[in-house]
Structure 1
Amino acid sequence: MFFSILLLAHIQAAVIPIILGIRSINKFTQLNKCKIIPLGFISLGLASICEMIDHTQTSWIYVDHSSLFNWLFYSLLSLGLTFLSISVVKNKFFLTTNICICFCSVISYFLFNKGIALIFQAIISIFLIINWQRTFKDWLFILYPIFGIFFTTFFGTNLSTSGDQFWHILIGPSGTISVFTFYLVLKRSDKTFT
C-alpha cells in the first residue's frame, strides 16, 4: 500500500506539469516570451520522471546520493524554473543573469556537489519570485514559496535526517501545488494583464 501511494505521488508530480505545459502551448500571449512557458512546465515534469528513474536504482527508498538521473532531476528542475522566470523578463541583463545562474546550477552538480547546485537553484527561485511578483502582482503567487520552497524543503530535510519514507510521499504533491500556482497566476493574468 505504501509503495502504491509513493508511486502515485511521483506519477502525479510528473504528469500534471506536462499536461499544464501542453495546455500552455499558444496561450498566455499577453507575455512576450509566452512560447517558453510550456517548456518550463514540461521541464518540471521531465525532472520528476528522472527522479522516478533514479528511485528505481534505490528500490524507491530515498537515498541522498549523486547519479546521472539525480543530476538530470536537479538540472531539469533548474531549467524549468528558469524558463518560467525568464518568460516574464524584458531586461536583457536579467535575462542573461537568469540563464547564467541556471547554467551554473547544472554544471556545479558534477564539478562540486549537489549542495552547491542547490544554492544556485535557490537563487533561481529568488529571481523567479521577484520577476513574477513584479509582473503579475498577484497575491496567489505566495503559494509558490510556501509549497514549492518551504514545504518541499521541510519535507525533504525531515526525510534526509530521519530516513522516514512518509516524508517522501509529501514532497511531490507539495511541488505540484506550486506548479498549479504558476498556471493559475498565468490564467488570472490572461484576464487582467495590461
Structure 2
Amino acid sequence: MSFLNEDVNLIRKKLQLCGLDIQSNSNFSISFKKLSKLYSELFFKSDYRDFPKFKLMENKIQFNEMIIIRDVQFISICEHHLLIIEGTSTVAYIPKKYIVGLSKISQIIHFFSKRPQLQEKMTKQISISLKNLLKTEDVAVFINAVHYCMKIRYAQDRSSDVVTTELSGSFVSDNLLKDRFLRFCYSNR
C-alpha cells in the first residue's frame, strides 16, 4: 500500500500549506487515511473492463415510441476541484432493433459518475454509449446537478444547479419529440 502512504503524505503537506495545525490534532492522522482510501475507491473504479454487462433484447414487439428513465440519482466528483457533484439524470431513447433492461441504463449512468468528471463530458459519454449499445441515434440525455464547488465557495450560488443535455437523432430533428422529452425533464421541479 505504498500508494496509500504517498497519498497520505501529499494530503498532509497540502493541509500544512493551507496553514492548518495538523500536528496538534490527532484526528487528522485517521482522516488522512480515510480520505486517501475514499479517493482510491472513487477514482479507480472507472476502468472500462468494469462497464456494466448486459444482453440486448430483440425488439420483437416493434416498440417505436420514446422510452424514458427519469431522475436516476448519482453522485460524482468534479474533476476541477475534487468536490461533490450531486444530481439526477433522465435518459430517453427510441428503440430500433433492440431494447435493454431499464436498470442497465441507470448502471451506465452510475458507471460514468464513478470517476472525477465534468458534467458536460458525462452527459456526452452516456449518450455515446447508449447510441453504440442500442444501435440507435435516437437518444436524449438530461442531467441536472448541484456542484459543491459552487455551493460552498460562493454564497450567492448556494441554490444554483447546472443543466446539460445531449440530444441526437429524432430528438434533434423532431421538435415535438424534443419538447415532449424536455417537458418530462422539467416537470415537478
How high is the TM-score relative to the length of structure 1? 0.25
Higher RCO, Cα 8 Å, sep 6+:
1
Greater Rg by CA = 2
TM-score by length of 2: 0.26
Name whichever structure is richer in helix by fraction.
1
